Copies of this chain bind each other. A is one copy, B any other.
């Protein structure tokens, strides 16, 4: 059986032809963007496998044929959404961790960035974890794309920078020994997990939506001192 898949029509190049003689419906120069945003919402909630092109089209206010016109297939559309979503936070966090500000400042900066951003996009962690759980190989490609480095290299740089800081602090007796891998994972766990497990936590703690938001604000205040205490000698 032939898989009709010669690299066919690619994403249209010039769609800036405005020529003011057609008063049908403003040809919506931003259609692609609208579709992408609608797709973002739907994929985020339902996951790639659970999402329906029809629902995305409806959310974008267009016909589902247009989705294929712009993105060729569901797989490509979901890929576009996934990259956009993944690039929202990861690069910024890596940049902080690899920078040369001091350890305490890194802790504060990461907590602040994560909690602020995730409060506005609470579905993000659940979506990313879901996608990566069901297709783990994507992770390597992803890290490579976002940083322009192979994963091993990313790890070495970030962890190397942190190890130097930790070792110095330990020698100065300002900190107890801790592998940089464990430090990073502790920090990310404490920031991200509450959002990833939000539905479960809300049920477990008996919280509603505003209750959860209060919980996060409380967390923003508590987390830095919690982590810094844990790092003391």
B-side contacts of A129, CB under 8 Å:
126, 129-130, 133, 196-197, 200
Docked pose: A128 CA to B199 CA in angstroms:
10
B-side contacts of A71, CB under 8 Å:
none
Q: Does A2 contact B (CB under 8 A)?
A: no
Which chain B residue has the least Cβ–Cβ distance from A152? B206
Q: Does A109 contact B (CB under 8 A)?
A: no
Among A188-202, those with CB < 8 Å from B are: 188-190, 192-194, 196-202
Say whether B133 contacts A47, CB under 8 Å.
yes
In the complex, the count of this chain's copies comes to 2
Number of interface residues of A (CB under 8 A): 66
Docked pose: A155 CA to B215 CA in angstroms:
14
Give, as a whole number of angstroms, the nearest-CB distance from A93 to chain B: 10
Interface of A is mostly: helix
Docked pose: A229 CA to B206 CA in angstroms:
29
Say whether A154 contacts B206, CB under 8 Å.
yes
* B127, B132, B185: the one within 8 Å of A193 (CB): B185
Say whether B130 contacts A133, CB under 8 Å.
yes
B-side contacts of A205, CB under 8 Å:
151, 155, 159, 181, 184
Say whether B130 contacts A179, CB under 8 Å.
no
* B132, B152, B203, B232: the one within 8 Å of A199 (CB): B132
Give me the 5 closest cross-chain CB pairs, A-B, nearest first: A126-B133, A230-B230, A49-B50, A155-B206, A130-B130
Q: What are 20 A-B contacts with C-beta separation under 8 Å?
A: A47-B133, A50-B50, A129-B200, A130-B130, A132-B200, A133-B196, A133-B199, A139-B199, A139-B203, A143-B203, A151-B204, A151-B206, A155-B206, A179-B218, A182-B226, A184-B204, A189-B192, A189-B193, A189-B194, A190-B190
